[in-house]
Amino acid sequence: MTSTTTVIDRLVEAINSHDLDAIEACFAPGYSVTTPAHPARSFTGRENVRRNWEGILAAHPTVRARAEPRVHSGDEIWAEWEYTSEAGEHGRFWFRGVAVTVISEGVIESARFYMEPVDSEDGPVRR
């Protein structure tokens, strides 16, 4: 396993363990994310990653993540992600898509997210 894929594995484990400190530790302090389909959702800063995951974990306490398959070239890695949770007070959380990340020194420096809610036959998916 390369150091590039190791940070993705650490992030999946941290999300699935609901460990905010471990989630935050996967990102560089100056981390930046771009969401081309939703530009207003783009942000900079590891502290914003933590704030986002605090909200997700509070609203969807059963959320789980997986990332596969992985294709990487140098420090860039493409992974297909899926986030799911059981339906609860805030509905079901179910997203799929691709994240293109740049890894440096064992942490995620930047990402381009192409994530969308999955259409469900049993009702609306909530963010």
Tokens standing for 98?
A: 């691709």
CATH class of 3-117: alpha beta
- pTM, two decimal places: 0.86
Mean pLDDT of 59-75: 88
The ranges assigned to domains in the chain are 3-117
d(CA 115, CA 3): 24
Residues near 29 by beta carbon (within 8 Å), at least 6 away in sequence = 45, 46
d(CA 116, CA 97): 6
pLDDT tier for residue 2 given thresholds of 50, 70 and 90: low
d(CA 101, CA 20): 20
pLDDT tier for residue 126 given thresholds of 50, 70 and 90: low
Q: Which of 61, 63, 94, 99 is nearest to 80 (CA)?
A: 99
Residue 111's SS3 state is strand
Q: Is the dihedral of CA 66, 83, 100, 3 positive or negative?
A: negative
The number of residues in the chain equals: 127
Residue 92's SS3 state is strand
Mean pLDDT of 67-75: 83
